[in-house]
Structure 1
Amino acid sequence: MTASPASPYLLRSSTAGNSLKGALDSLIASHINQIGPSMLVQVEAVKADDAAITGKVTVRPMVQQQDALSRAFPHDLIHNVPYLRIQGGSSALIIDPKPGDIGFIIISGRDHTHAITTRQPAPPASFRQFSMQDCVYVGGFLNSGPDQFIQATDEGWRIVTPGSVTIEARGNIALKADRIEASGDVITSGDVRAGTVSLKRHVHGGVQTGAGTSSPPQ
């Protein structure tokens, strides 16, 4: 007996009756259904701490489960999911997820609890396989347009933020351009030099009282 057309496709019974092929198909489908697939999720909570070790998120799978009558059932939340950070050695681009972000979870084939805890190669913590508990988060997809961003255009790089931009360097900062323009005030606690002329320490020649002007700075 076949299932009604309203039944979810993966839950419909085989049309092969009691044949060997039908039995094998049912067995294979049963095993496939037990494999946790990569899926869209939405971030519910984030545990991050500035530039510390990469944090973790709590996510909710967005594609719900269905029963044989097409009734939807939400998945449970998945806690303590490590998220992706673009990093090489001690250099990183830190953009932590935010609640409401949409991304993907990538599911491990085995229980990776020991490897996550120790950050070292380790045997699986249990015989669990393809479980949604053993996943990492990669985002974001389908999110709204950002308020601040770094954009590569045909004309060059564009940095936009509604706040401030802070650059910290222990060494020098070198700017190389044909022209540097500022639409606001330029404030510095140090000196400014144009060629060999210091803004703080330059002198003027031809100084005299009255309405005369001095010579250019030296």
Structure 2
Amino acid sequence: MSKLGTPLLVKVEAVHPGEASITGSVDVQPMVHQQDKQGKPYPRQVIHNVPYLRIQGGTSALIIDPKLGDIGFIIISGRDHTHAVTSRQPSPPASFRQFAMQDCVYVGGFLNNGPDQFIQATAQGWRIVTPGIVSIEATKITANCDIETSGDVKAGGISLKQHTHGGVQAGGGKTSPPS
């Protein structure tokens, strides 16, 4: 049993992000040292080019690439998975290697500090928090609800708060479009 490659706690030492269409890899440092019979610790070597997890189904994904210093686990394969990782197809093992740390994947998000941006499911609905900008790229957005903001709303470059109407006359007349 001691020869089996069990999951191992690791820290991200480098991130090699892929494009949106391809998952990247990380270099990870195992956080639990080996030790000899006298209890003397021996740090493990950094494991390079470890594929990491993305939450994905078909062509839809939640892309949150790991960051330097993140803590997670590696899951070690029973056989050399080099050909399967490279080709992304079912493949024979690349060698007779078994339960080796080189044949692992990274699953992150354990023991990290609290995030400053997140999407959270609550009993009241979804909560999105970010110190930056939320950018939505879509052909159309449809909302079946009231929309409230403490800021301004602009459409076609025209401010809802700051626009003016020309041609206003007392009585039953109508205003001209905003300018």
What TM-score, normalized by structure 2, do the two folds share? 0.88
Matched residues in 2 for 1:52 and 1:100: separation?
24
Q: 8 Å contact 1:57–1:79 — kept in the other structure?
A: yes
Within-5 A mapping of 1:179-190: 179-189=146-156
Where has structure 1 moved over 6 Å in runs of 4 or more? 202-205
Matched residues in 2 for 1:84 and 1:77: separation?
19
Give the fraction of aligned pairs with identical amino acids, expressed as a percent.
64
**One of 140, 161, 172 as aligned partner of 1:172:** 140
Per-residue CA distance 1:35-85 (angstroms, 9 max, x = gap): 221111111101014413000000011111000110111100000100000
Aligned to 2:105: 136
* Secondary structure, aligned partner of 2:84: helix
Q: 8 Å contact 1:40–1:63 — kept in the other structure?
A: yes
Q: Give the Å deviation of 1:190.
A: 6.6
Matched, 1:101 2:76: no
What TM-score, normalized by structure 1, do the two folds share? 0.73
Q: Give the Å deviation of 1:188.
A: 2.0
* Secondary structure, aligned partner of 1:33: coil
* Secondary structure, aligned partner of 1:43: strand
Aligned to 1:36: 5
**RMSD after superposition:** 2.3
**One of 14, 17, 20 as aligned partner of 1:51:** 20
Matched residues in 1 for 2:20 and 2:171: separation?
54
Within-5 A mapping of 1:192-211: 207=169
**One of 25, 38, 53 as aligned partner of 1:84:** 53
Q: Give the Å deviation of 1:203.
A: 9.1
Aligned to 1:12: none
Q: 8 Å contact 2:50–2:105 — kept in the other structure?
A: yes
* Secondary structure, aligned partner of 2:154: coil
Relative to its length, the structure with more helix (as a share) is 1
Aligned to 1:115: 84
Work out which of the two has the higher radius of gyration on C-alpha atoms and give 1 or 2.
1
Matched residues in 2 for 1:41 and 1:216: separation?
68
Aligned to 2:126: 157
Considering Cα pairs closer than 8 Å and 6+ residues apart, tell me whether 1 or 2 has the greater RCO.
2
The one-letter code matched in structure 1 to 2:141 is: I
Matched residues in 2 for 1:156 and 1:140: separation?
23
* Secondary structure, aligned partner of 2:155: coil
Q: 8 Å contact 1:204–1:214 — kept in the other structure?
A: no
Q: Give the Å deviation of 1:88.
A: 1.2
* Secondary structure, aligned partner of 1:79: strand
Q: 8 Å contact 2:20–2:63 — kept in the other structure?
A: yes
* Secondary structure, aligned partner of 2:116: coil
